[in-house]
Structure 1
Amino acid sequence: MGGMQAMESVMLEVDHVQQRHTWDCGLACIMMVLPLQVRAEFSDALYSICQEEGFDKSTWSIDLAYLLQRFGVKHRYLTITLGVDLGFSSERFYDHVLHKDTQRVLDRFQEAEQRGVVVEQGAASIPDLLSHLRQYGPIILLTNAHLLACLRCARAVPHLRSCLPCSPPYQGHYVLLVGYDTVKGHVYYRNPSFKSRICSITFGKLDVARRSYGTDEDIIFIYTSTGNSSSSSNSSGSCNG
């Protein structure tokens, strides 16, 4: 991992925001990275802004990127699919929204560059994620909640298999990555489905959850620093959450 030895653990200071409904986990992640005043304004006008942006209660990663641009947050949206994978129609999670969202989402991708929304096609590795957390800021990550196995949640509530229990094979869920520990091999994240908690997952299990079919491996890198993040580090490898 290159220069990772100099900083074995990182934990970014981020105010937790809990989602209000079943559909706004991505919006809660957006709020976590906004300045306090802007966050309050977004929260107060949440429903009207959703209508203005055109997604109402059906948010895609491209919608989150447009919101970040709207609020002046530097970002980079990375995805393996520039548009909509129509194969998602076989997933119950997507079946009811594809028919109404496909054209809107395609239009947003097509207009992204002229709107100043940074979108790139590609994939990222775990070292890529850790490097960004170390140097620049948090990461909004789309996962399959059914595979999001938090080590801390499992210890607290042994019967809880994931951070957001669900019955379908795929359940899209956004989380905010805020840190890592290379000695333990863990990534730390804030899960908007909880009131306030820092969750922990192994590198391997995070890869499974974020690469699950349905996610398009969507990643939104947030740039709160120009380099050498001011986040706290601990050379002993311990990381308190």
Structure 2
Amino acid sequence: MFAVLCLGLLVVVIRSDALDGVRGELQDFVAWVANEEGLVGGSIALFVLAVVANSTLLIQVPYTLPLAAIVVASDSVTKVVVLSVASAVGAGIGEVNSYLIARGLSMPVELAETSRILRWIRRTGEEQPRRIPFLVLLTSGTSLPDDVVIWPMALARYPIRKMLTPIFAGKLVYCVAIGLITYYGTRAVDVEDATVSLDFTIVLLVGFLLYAFYLFEKSKERKQRAPTDEGG
């Protein structure tokens, strides 16, 4: 409900003249980040965001939304690719962090031995080792949740070195595809006008922040419920 109210307020503000006073400054800032003068800073910001977003366990943070928001203001395909690659590298490192965090978690031996998915991963890794990299590539290169595969791989002690190539290749394909689709898509529907471009960018960024806030609140709620469930 809170997110719906915020989005409704955002639409009202955008449709009104409330942003006229800061529209030019925001447009200049987004253009600076997306283009030559601020390209390095924008790339670093997207890289760091992607690392943090993909280092979380079982919480999918939409790190490609800020990428799409910045790409809207970019003026060349080369810059779009640079920004997308920065996000991809950060996302790949984040997935490796996620694997290492999951591997460090304690898991009862009896649960590890009886878990069907862990036994399947071990068996597949021994009998059909080529399937594992394909699964990792599939989740890394699409919007499917990576942790569905990465987390069980870590608990099953599947070697991370065998997953590095599909993880980074998948993230590279995914982020570059998002960047190019956004770049050409927004131009196909004619968002060349600075006002429309800025409004679209604001919607994407605010949507990202609201969704991240929602995930944080849900995670906090689950942690608060956990002691109660154990006590009951």
**What TM-score do the two structures reach when normalised by structure 2?**
0.28
Greater fraction strand = 1
Question: Structure 1 length normalisation: TM-score?
Answer: 0.27
Larger gyration radius, structure 1 or structure 2: 2
RCO greater where, 1 or 2, for CA within 8 Å and sep 6 or more? 1
Higher helix share: 2
